[in-house]
């Protein structure tokens, strides 16, 4: 039994090191959803357990990208890019997703923040580019555009998908965003 313990610990250590990523690999992974013309100037961050972040690479444009793999409610492979102006909202959302496991309770928590006016609004017109799936090979891109407060009346777009084109999801709220079918 005593001989098995070092073997098990060695196997565990080797397994952990096989999954460790270098900073360069973390940056490369986080940038996967970034548009080609913005990738070179994008900031890359790594979220910490306290919902703050470390900057892995300081960018020169307003795009920020990060890895969400392994976070509550995310696919096994999940990376995301948005405007650097949206990081406070992302941090609020991450905290709720991590501390409120039930989806209905999460929705209620988001709605309470919204009602109290405490859920930070995203930057109007900013992109949210998600690239996620069971694995990187199976990941797909989904792009939305933040339009906080937008309604059918203000933008002239429908608030449901029945017409088959771009539509406003969560119309009238700070979570309002344009859904882009096929992305």
Collapsing DSSP states into helix, strand and coil, what is residue 13?
A: helix
* Residue 41 DSSP symbol: T
Asked if residues 123 and 86 have their Cβ atoms less than 8 Å apart, the reply is yes
What residue ranges of the chain have pLDDT lower than 50?
A: 1, 3-18
Sign of the dihedral defined by the CA atoms of residues 17, 23, 28, 31, in that order: positive
pLDDT of residue 182: 77
pLDDT of residue 19: 62
pLDDT of residue 181: 83
Does the model's pTM come out above 0.75?
yes
Name beta bridge partners: 127.
Answer: 145
* Residue 122 DSSP symbol: P
Nearest to residue 142, comparing CAs of 99, 181, 90, 96? Answer: 181
Nearest to residue 86, comparing CAs of 68, 71, 64? Answer: 64
């Amino acid at each position: 039994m005593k001989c098995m313990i070092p073997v098990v610990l060695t196997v565990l250590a080797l397994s952990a090191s096989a999954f460790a990523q270098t900073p360069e690999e973390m940056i490369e992974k986080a940038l996967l959803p970034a548009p080609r013309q913005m990738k070179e100037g994008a900031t890359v961050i790594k979220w910490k357990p306290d919902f703050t972040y470390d900057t892995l690479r300081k960018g020169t444009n307003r795009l920020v990208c990060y890895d969400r793999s392994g976070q509550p409610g995310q696919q096994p492979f999940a990376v995301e890019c948005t405007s650097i102006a949206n990081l406070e909202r992302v941090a609020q959302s991450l905290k709720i997703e991590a501390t409120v496991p039930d989806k209905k309770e999460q929705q209620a928590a988001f709605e309470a923040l919204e009602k109290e006016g405490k859920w930070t609004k995203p930057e109007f017109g900013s992109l949210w580019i998600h690239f996620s799936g069971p694995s990187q090979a199976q990941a797909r891109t989904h792009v939305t555009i933040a339009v906080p407060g937008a309604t059918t009346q203000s933008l002239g777009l429908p608030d449901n998908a029945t017409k088959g084109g771009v539509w406003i999801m969560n119309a009238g709220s700070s979570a309002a965003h344009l859904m882009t079918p096929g992305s």
